[in-house]
Amino acid sequence: MRWKKQLLELSPYLPGKSIEEVKKQYGLEKITKLASNENPFGCSDKVLESLKKYQPKTELYPDGYATNLRETLAEALQVDINQLLFGNGSDEIIQIISRALLHSDSNTVMATPTFPQYRHNAILEGAEVREVPLKNGDHDLDGMLAAVDEKTNVIWLCSPNNPTGTYISEEKMASFLSKVPQDILVVIDEAYYEYAVAEDYHDSINLLKEFKNLIVLRTFSKIYGLASMRVGYGIADRDIIRALEPAREPFNTNSFAQLAAKTSIEDTEFVEVCKLKNREGLEQFYQFCGENALEYFPSQGNFILINFNRDGDEVFQYLLSRGFIVRSGKALGFPSCVRITVGSKEQNEGLIELLKEFLAEEL
Ligand SMILES: *Cc1c(COP(=O)(O)O)cnc(C)c1O
C-alpha cells in the first residue's frame, strides 16, 4: 500500500480501560470511572423520556440539516440558524476544519499540552504542527502569535484547556484576536464552556460579532451527559459555516442524537444543577490538595489535574486496582500528574479516601 506517509507517524486512539475489563481483572464489583470528563449525573430525565417515546423510522436517513436541533439551539444562543455547524461530536468538527484548511503547504498553531485531536488531524492532513508550550498552565498567546506566519491557516485555543482546566480571560482573548491576521481561522474549543464560572471568562458569541475569522466549538458530550450520542457544534460567521459545510458528511448526526441534543437544551435546570455540583466537587479536591500540599491548576472544567510529584502511572495503578479509573498525566504531557474527572460527592469522597491512603503508604 502507498499510505500517506504522515499516517505512519500516528497511532490509533487508545481508549481507557473499560469498566468491564477492570472488574474482571481485579475481581471488583463496583468500578467508578472518572477518566473521560463524562457527567457523573448522566443526562436530563427529559432526554430519556423523549428517547423512549420516539418512534424511529429506521429506514429513513436522518435530517442532514438537523433542523429541529438547529432551530432550538439558534434560539438558545441567540444566533442565526446559518451560524451553526453540527458534527458527530465536536471531534468531527475538528476533523472538518482540518480537512477544509490544512494541507502539506500550510501550518497550524496550538498550545501543548492541549486536546490531542488538533495535532492528530493536522498531521493527517500533512500540515506542519507548531506547538507552543503552556506557560504555567496557560496558553502563551504571545508565543503563539510569534509562531504565526504567512502559511498559518488555523490557530487552536482550548479554553477551559484540557487537561489543565485553565482558561483565557476575555481581555486576553480579545487582544489576541485583534492581532491575528483576518485570513487565519481561530478555533476556540469550549467543550467545557457550561462549567466555566470565572467572571472574566470570554463571551465568544459576542466576540464573533467583531471577529469574522473565529469559530467556537461546543459539545453535548460533557455537561449535557450525551457523550454516547456524539453531537457537537461550531458557531461562526455564516460565511465560515458556508465554506466548511462541503467538508461535512451529509448525514453526520443521527436522528436519536439530534432529538437527545434538542431535548437537552430545553432542560436548563439540569445544566444548572450539574454546574453547581461540579463546583462543590472541585472544592472537595481543592481542600484535599491543600491539606496534602499538592499542586493543582484551579479548574474551570469538570476535571482537575493534580501533581503528585511521582509517576502518574503509579497513582493511576493504585486507584485502578481499588476500583477507580482516572487518567494518568503521563499520556497527557504531565508525567507526575493525574487528571481526575469530578464525580458525585460520594464518588469524590471515595476517591479522596484512597488518595489519602496512597499518600500515607508512600511516606
Ligand atoms: C471532550 C472534548 C472534546 C470532544 O468532544 P466530543 O463532542 O465528544 O467529540 C473536544 N474538545 C475538548 C477539549 C474535549 O475535552
Query: Same structural domain for residues 63 and 31?
Result: no
Residue 97 in grid coordinates: 476544519
C-alpha 360 – ligand 1 centre gap (Å): 35
15 versus 244: the higher-pLDDT residue is 244
Mean pLDDT of the chain: 96
Query: Same structural domain for residues 56 and 127?
Result: yes
At 284-298, the pLDDT tens digits run: 999 999 999 999 999
pLDDT at 362 over 90: no
Query: Same structural domain for residues 172 and 105?
Result: yes
Rounded to whole angstroms, the Cα distance separating 184 from 174 reads 15
* Total number of domains constituting the chain: 2
C-alpha 309 – ligand 1 centre gap (Å): 28
Contact predicate 262/72, CB 8 Å: yes
Tell me the mean pLDDT in the region 253-279: 98
The CATH number linked to 75 is 3.40.640.10
pLDDT at 84 over 70: yes
Query: Same structural domain for residues 200 and 244?
Result: yes
C-alpha 35 – ligand 1 centre gap (Å): 13
Q: Does 88 contact ligand 1 (Cβ within 6 A)?
A: no
Rounded to whole angstroms, the Cα distance separating 31 from 79 reads 42
Query: Same structural domain for residues 223 and 274?
Result: no
User: For the CA atoms of 166, 170, 176, 178, what is the dihedral angle to 10 degrees?
Assistant: 160
Tell me the mean pLDDT in the region 60-84: 98
Query: Same structural domain for residues 20 and 121?
Result: no
Rounded to whole angstroms, the Cα distance separating 71 from 84 reads 10
The closest of 207, 210, 220, 197 to 76, measured between CA atoms, is 220
The closest of 152, 146, 166 to 101, measured between CA atoms, is 152
At 1-40, the pLDDT tens digits run: 999 999 988 888 877 778 888 899 999 999 999 999 999 9
Rounded to whole angstroms, the Cα distance separating 250 from 175 reads 37
Residue 201: give the domain boundaries.
46-266
Q: Does 115 contact ligand 1 (Cβ within 6 A)?
A: yes
At 185-239, the pLDDT tens digits run: 999 999 999 999 999 999 999 999 999 999 999 999 999 999 999 999 999 999 9
Q: Which of 134, 139, 221 to mutate to test the pocket of ligand 1 (most atoms within 8 A of CB)?
A: 221
Query: Same structural domain for residues 186 and 55?
Result: yes
Type of residue numbered 308: F
Boundary of a domain, candidates 266, 288, 320: 266
Query: Same structural domain for residues 103 and 248?
Result: yes
> What's the pLDDT score for residue 363?
64
